[in-house]
């Protein structure tokens, strides 16, 4: 009888341990798979003073050129101001003026495998921006904005380039938006 009670006690302890392990494992999975992201995209613009924005073309001036990059960037930049502000986009004489050029588009070996070959490649995009606030020149600036993205070296750049460039353009346009009109 005592042997039977010990068996039940050991079984209950094992079940309790298993339940604790499953609880910790479930919490770990839940913690790593769920993320909360906050995005501050509200512009702090005095619309009684500032009514328009002029966004110039951003030509590619980098050594390496992928021609669709310019239109992807240009579209992302105009879209962010159109969707997140009430500013009218004009061709000239804007209250706010954005102009510049894409000055860098490079790739670098980022990781080396134990075989001595590259296993990760980092793509880097840099955009030089000149911002003019014709209603408050104290806010004018010229600044470079950079974004990077990494891909597996077993892939060819041509196969992942559009996705990575689109991702980097979004990151850079978010940075530009925050530096110019978000003011937070």
Question: Who contacts 164 (Cβ-Cβ below 8 Å, separation ≥6)?
Answer: 123, 149, 151
User: Within this chain, do residues 28 and 60 fall inside the same structural domain, yes or no?
Assistant: no
- Strand extents, DSSP E, 46-117: 52-55, 88-90, 96-112
- Structurally, the chain folds into a number of domains equal to 2
What is the model's pTM?
Answer: 0.74
Pick from 17-31, 81-95, 108-122 the range whose average pLDDT is largest.
81-95
Structural domain span for residue 162 = 52-182
User: Within this chain, do residues 75 and 20 fall inside the same structural domain, yes or no?
Assistant: no
**pLDDT tens digits, 64-98:** 999 999 999 999 999 999 999 999 999 999 999 99
Is residue 43, in this structure, part of any structural domain at all? no
């Amino acid at each position: 009888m005592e042997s039977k009670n010990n068996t039940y006690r050991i079984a209950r302890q094992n079940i309790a341990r298993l339940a604790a392990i499953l609880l910790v494992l479930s919490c770990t999975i839940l913690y790593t798979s769920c993320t909360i992201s906050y995005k501050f995209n509200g512009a702090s613009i005095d619309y009684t003073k500032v009514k328009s924005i002029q966004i110039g073309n951003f030509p590619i001036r980098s050594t390496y050129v992928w021609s669709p990059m310019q239109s992807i960037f240009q579209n992302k930049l105009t879209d962010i101001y159109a969707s997140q502000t009430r500013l009218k986009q004009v061709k000239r004489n804007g209250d706010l003026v954005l102009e510049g050029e894409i000055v860098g588009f490079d790739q670098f070996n980022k990781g080396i495998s134990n075989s001595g070959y590259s296993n990760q490649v980092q793509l880097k995009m840099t955009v030089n921006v000149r911002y003019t606030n014709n209603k408050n020149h104290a806010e004018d600036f010229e600044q470079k904005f950079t974004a990077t993205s990494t891909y597996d070296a077993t892939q060819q750049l041509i196969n992942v380039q559009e996705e990575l460039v689109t991702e980097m353009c979004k990151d850079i346009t978010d940075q530009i938006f925050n530096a110019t009109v978000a003011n937070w």
